[in-house]
């Protein structure tokens, strides 16, 4: 093992600079072929995107222009871009005059290629366009759904949705810088995953100042994949946490949010201590309306977050640690294709746990690890073999079909295994070297394989089994948590006839309650659930994790006490992590499919197109 240190250390010393990359770092690598993009970056590559867009709430569209700065190989006269549901209004070359273009027929799941004929000297092209009705990245919310008096818009780019609001080379193997001028109606605020350039300005037109609209300007100077370009617009207020961290949210929520995330600066500096300098300038959080389809999304400089993580006691802040960790795994070092998605998420779950351990102690993290391990094993039992592989084969599939606990939790187990193998000190040096040596680059599973093969003792681990194999390898770590064992002891007492009120639950944390609910015997009847509810108030829980686990449990046992809460939850919350299991539990009940359809009908206007599509698929499964 000594040898490892001597290999790692000198490289580490060379690579510990911070800030923007040298201009060569992302150019030195060949572009990896990506089956989920129709674009042609190997011939002509987009390097910078300049956006001029107006948000039209009445039409639920964006309209404007993207100017794409190009790097061209000799003899390439065609630029191919990804689009989805975009209406192209015109294309101009570097001289401002029209260029020939065509929108190719739609390709299943991938949208339509926009093919532009370039002239010599076209080092940029301008595409005028507006977004279409089926734009998958955009979610417009009515004032009611935004929880106030004004409408709201947010974008969600990952995995291949950015093409529905920006014509671009929508592959994570291509990195761009961007700047943007966004016009929005007063008094709304616009935020992007970029540095804000001087707040908002009045819009000056030929006939004077427009009283109704403002222009907001942004600049991202570090090269990022297109899926990380993000925009939000609504009634939003800011609460500073530290010099580089703020929390943004709707006025009615912003104080509670600032309270919940008061540890934000500490989280960033803790992460830096483990992973290396934070290279993105600011780290802000934007708490979105409950319709937001994910727990969090790691948009650079500005994590997007579901309000369901605001539990009032900071018990769900691991979601923030997770999105913050993506500032290294994902945003700094990016999966080059969606088959390498586990490189983003597996590394991030591991790093999230390291941050949480440093801040809140090992005991808390162990509980999460055990729960994640149980979840993974449960999930894998229902999966097809290909879905249990880290390096997934997505040919003929949408990248989101590879989305499951496998890239997250099997991915993290791989890193825990490496840590166990090397010891934490050496493993940490290796991790730093991986991030520093691939900063602002996009990487594949085979890049990781070569990197590790050069640095690990021969025969120490079967990398091919981990990356390409089905299920869990023999040497996958297994975690134990005394705090969760305590929960199982109380469950045993319950099974032996103890009344819920007699159980020793004082001081239990969220993970213990989750284990309690999930470990209830499958045949627990509705009467028992009613007693538990009386004793512990699960149906009224303000903790979304506990509530969602409880609702799922209640559906399975036909416990009517949850019905009203279940419906209001499904109508208010768009986070797919909750919607999926709840709708799945519903359709498994006698008559449940009809009930689920009826609720979905009412809830659908509030769901993101992606969540809505997936729920619909569940409602139609084998029926
Ligand atoms: N990057 C993901 C969200 C994502 C993945 C969006 C794939 C689109 C396609 C984000 O970092 C994430 O993993 N969010 C989790 C939370 C996390 C704590 C596991 C979520 O949304 O539940
Ligand atoms: Zn993630």
Q: Which atom of ligand 1 is nearest to the CA of 352?
A: 18
Residues 311 and 182 reside in one and the same domain: no
Q: What is the pLDDT of residue 116?
A: 98
- Separation of 346 CA from ligand 1 center, angstroms? 11
In 3D space, the residue among 323, 313, 312, 308 whose CA is nearest the CA of residue 267 turns out to be 323
Q: What DSSP line would sit under 69-122, residue for residue?
A: EEEE-TT--EEEEEESSEEEEEEE-TTS-B--EEEPPPBTTTBEEEEEEPPTT-
- Separation of 295 CA from ligand 1 center, angstroms? 6
Hey, whose CA ends up nearest to atom 16 of ligand 1? Answer: 295
Hey, whose CA ends up nearest to atom 22 of ligand 1? Answer: 295
CB count within 10 Å of CB 133 equals: 10
Hey, whose CA ends up nearest to atom 17 of ligand 1? Answer: 319
Q: Which of 408, 559, 578, 607 is catalytic?
A: 408
Q: Which atom of ligand 1 is nearest to the CA of 319?
A: 18
Hey, whose CA ends up nearest to atom 10 of ligand 1? Answer: 297
The CA-CA-CA angle for residues 321, 354, 195, to 5°, reads 35
Q: Is the dihedral angle over the CA atoms 347, 349, 355, 357 positive or is it negative? A: negative
CB 92 within 8 A of CB 101: no
Residues 336 and 267 reside in one and the same domain: no
Tokens of residue 317, six digits: 């802040």
Residues 513 and 400 reside in one and the same domain: no
Tokens of residue 374, six digits: 């149980």
Q: Which atom of ligand 1 is nearest to the CA of 294?
A: 21
Residue of 154, 345, 375, 376 to test ligand 1 pocket, by largest number of atoms within 8 Å of CB: 345
In 3D space, the residue among 325, 312, 374 whose CA is nearest the CA of residue 353 turns out to be 325
Angle, helices 411-422 vs 424-437, to 10°: value is: 120
Which CATH number characterizes residue 165's domain? 2.60.40.1730
**Domain of 246, in residue numbers:** 236-327
In 3D space, the residue among 462, 546, 536 whose CA is nearest the CA of residue 502 turns out to be 536
CB 607 within 8 A of CB 574: yes
End-of-domain residue from the set 468, 491, 521: 468
Its pTM stands at: 0.95
What parts of the chain have a pLDDT lower than 70? 1-28, 623
408 flagged as catalytic: yes
- Separation of 298 CA from ligand 2 center, angstroms? 7
Q: What is the pLDDT of residue 586?
A: 98
The rounded distance, in Å, linking the Cα atoms of 336 and 164 is 20
Is there a domain that residue 144 lies in? no
Is there a domain that residue 562 lies in? yes
The rounded distance, in Å, linking the Cα atoms of 63 and 135 is 12
The rounded distance, in Å, linking the Cα atoms of 61 and 151 is 13
Q: Which atom of ligand 1 is nearest to the CA of 610?
A: 8
Residues 447 and 345 reside in one and the same domain: yes
How far, CA to CA in Å, does 402 sit from each of 107, 387, 457, 576? 19, 7, 32, 15
Element (H, E) at 370: helix 362-381
Hey, whose CA ends up nearest to atom 18 of ligand 1? Answer: 319
The rounded distance, in Å, linking the Cα atoms of 120 and 366 is 60
Tokens of residue 164, six digits: 């529905």
The rounded distance, in Å, linking the Cα atoms of 182 and 215 is 5
Phi/psi class of residue 420: alpha, beta or left (left: φ > 0; alpha: ψ in -120 to 50)? alpha
Residues 175 and 303 reside in one and the same domain: no
Is there a domain that residue 406 lies in? yes
In 3D space, the residue among 227, 104, 92 whose CA is nearest the CA of residue 163 turns out to be 227
How far, CA to CA in Å, does 452 sit from each of 20, 415, 422, 445? 26, 12, 12, 11
Q: Which ligand is nearest to the CA of 399?
A: 1
Q: Which ligand is nearest to the CA of 574?
A: 1
- Separation of 471 CA from ligand 2 center, angstroms? 21
The rounded distance, in Å, linking the Cα atoms of 166 and 219 is 16
End-of-domain residue from the set 327, 351, 371: 327
Is there a domain that residue 464 lies in? yes
In 3D space, the residue among 307, 324, 314, 302 whose CA is nearest the CA of residue 260 turns out to be 314
SS3 of 585, please?
A: helix
CB proximity list for 144: less than 8 A, separation 6 or greater: none
Is there a domain that residue 87 lies in? yes
Is there a domain that residue 520 lies in? yes
The CA-CA-CA angle for residues 48, 49, 50, to 5°, reads 120
CB 6 within 8 A of CB 80: no
Hey, whose CA ends up nearest to atom 2 of ligand 1? Answer: 297
Tokens of residue 13, six digits: 């010393």
Element (H, E) at 249: strand 246-249
CB 214 within 8 A of CB 264: no
Residues 171 and 42 reside in one and the same domain: yes
* Ligand 1 neighbours by CB, cut-off 6 Å: 158-159, 294-298, 319, 322-323, 326, 345, 400, 403, 577
Which CATH number characterizes residue 439's domain? 1.10.390.10
Q: What is the CA radius of gyration of the chain?
A: 25
CB 583 within 8 A of CB 619: yes
Residues 194 and 294 reside in one and the same domain: no
Q: Which of 158, 235, 260, 323 is catalytic?
A: 323
323 flagged as catalytic: yes
The rounded distance, in Å, linking the Cα atoms of 140 and 181 is 19
Q: What is the pLDDT of residue 19?
A: 45
CB 44 within 8 A of CB 79: yes
Residue entry with tokens 């770092």: 25
CB 318 within 8 A of CB 366: no
- Separation of 606 CA from ligand 2 center, angstroms? 23
Q: Which atom of ligand 1 is nearest to the CA of 408?
A: 19
Burial class for 430, CB neighbours closer than 10 Å (0-12, 13-18, 19+): buried
Is there a domain that residue 143 lies in? no
Which CATH number characterizes residue 488's domain? 1.25.40.320
Residues 209 and 76 reside in one and the same domain: yes
Is there a domain that residue 504 lies in? yes
CB count within 10 Å of CB 68 equals: 24
Residues 305 and 377 reside in one and the same domain: no
Residues 180 and 40 reside in one and the same domain: yes
CB proximity list for 332: less than 8 A, separation 6 or greater: 279, 435, 438, 439, 440
CB 419 within 8 A of CB 427: yes
Ion ligand 2 neighbours (CB, 5 A) are 345, 348
Residues 315 and 343 reside in one and the same domain: no
End-of-domain residue from the set 407, 435, 468: 468
Three-state SS letters, 496-559: CCCCHHHCCCCCCCHHHHHHHHHCCCCCCCHHHHHHHHHHHCHHHCCCHHHHHHHHHHHHHHCC
The length of the chain is: 623
Residues 320 and 345 reside in one and the same domain: no
Number of domain units in the chain:
4
In 3D space, the residue among 37, 32, 84 whose CA is nearest the CA of residue 399 turns out to be 37
């Amino acid at each position: 093992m000594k040898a490892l240190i001597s290999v790692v250390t000198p490289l580490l010393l060379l690579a510990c600079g911070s800030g923007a990359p040298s201009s060569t770092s992302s150019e030195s690598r060949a572009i990896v072929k990506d089956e989920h993009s129709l674009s042609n970056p190997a011939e002509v590559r987009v390097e910078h995107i300049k956006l001029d867009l107006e948000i039209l709430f009445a039409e639920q569209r964006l309209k404007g222009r993207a100017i794409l700065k190009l790097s061209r190989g000799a003899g390439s006269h065609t630029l191919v871009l990804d689009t989805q549901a975009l209406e192209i209004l015109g294309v101009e070359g570097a001289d401002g005059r029209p260029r020939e273009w065509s929108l190719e027929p739609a390709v299943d799941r991938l949208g339509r290629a926009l093919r532009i004929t370039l002239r010599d000297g076209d080092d940029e092209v301008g595409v005028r366009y507006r977004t279409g009705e089926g734009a998958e990245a955009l979610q417009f919310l009515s004032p009611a759904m935004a929880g106030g008096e004004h409408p709201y818009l947010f974008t969600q780019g990952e995995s291949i949705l950015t093409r529905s609001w920006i014509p671009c080379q929508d592959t994570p193997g291509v990195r761009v810088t961007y700047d943007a001028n966004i016009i929005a109606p007063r008094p709304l605020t616009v935020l992007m995953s970029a540095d804000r350039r001087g707040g908002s300005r009045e819009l000056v037109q030929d006939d004077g100042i427009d009283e109704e609209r403002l222009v907001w300007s942004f600049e991202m100077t570090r090269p990022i994949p297109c899926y990380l370009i993000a925009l939000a617009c609504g009634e939003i207020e800011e609460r500073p946490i530290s010099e580089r961290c703020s929390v943004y949210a709707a006025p009615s929520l912003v104080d509670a949010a600032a309270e919940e995330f008061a540890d934000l600066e500490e989280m960033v500096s803790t992460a830096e201590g483990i992973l290396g300098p934070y290279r993105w300038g600011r780290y802000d959080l934007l708490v979105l309306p409950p319709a937001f389809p994910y727990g969090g999304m790691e948009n650079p400089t500005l994590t997007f977050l579901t309000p369901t993580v605001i539990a009032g006691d900071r018990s769900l802040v691991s979601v923030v640690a997770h999105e913050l960790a993506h500032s290294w795994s994902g945003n700094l070092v990016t999966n080059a294709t969606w088959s390498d998605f586990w490189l983003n998420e597996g590394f991030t779950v591991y790093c999230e746990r390291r941050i949480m351990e440093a801040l809140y102690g090992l005991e808390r993290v162990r509980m999460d690890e055990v729960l994640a391990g149980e979840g993974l094993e449960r999930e894998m039992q229902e999966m097809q073999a290909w879905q249990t592989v880290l390096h997934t084969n997505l040919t003929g599939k949408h990248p989101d079909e590879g989305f499951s606990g496998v890239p997250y939790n099997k991915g993290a187990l791989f890193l825990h295994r490496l840590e166990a193998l090397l010891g934490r000190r050496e493993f940490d040096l290796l991790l730093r070297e991986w991030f520093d040596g691939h900063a602002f680059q996009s990487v594949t599973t085979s890049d990781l394989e070569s990197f590790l093969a050069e640095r690990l003792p021969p025969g120490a681990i079967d990398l091919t089994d981990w990356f390409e194999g089905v299920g869990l390898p023999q040497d996958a770590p297994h975690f134990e948590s005394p705090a969760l064992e305590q929960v199982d002891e109380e469950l045993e007492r319950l099974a032996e006839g103890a009344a819920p009120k007699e159980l020793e639950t004082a001081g239990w944390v969220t993970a213990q309650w989750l284990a309690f609910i999930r470990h209830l015997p499958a045949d627990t009847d509705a009467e028992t659930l009613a007693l538990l509810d009386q004793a512990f108030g699960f149906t009224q829980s303000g903790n979304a994790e506990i509530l969602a686990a409880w609702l799922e449990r209640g559906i399975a046992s036909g416990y009517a006490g949850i019905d009203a809460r279940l419906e209001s939850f499904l109508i208010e919350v768009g986070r797919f992590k909750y919607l999926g299991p709840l709708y799945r539990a519903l359709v498994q009940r006698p008559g449940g499919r009809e009930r689920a359809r009826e609720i979905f009908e009412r809830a659908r206007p509030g769901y993101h197109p992606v969540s809505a599509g997936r729920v619909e698929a569940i409602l139609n499964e084998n029926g």
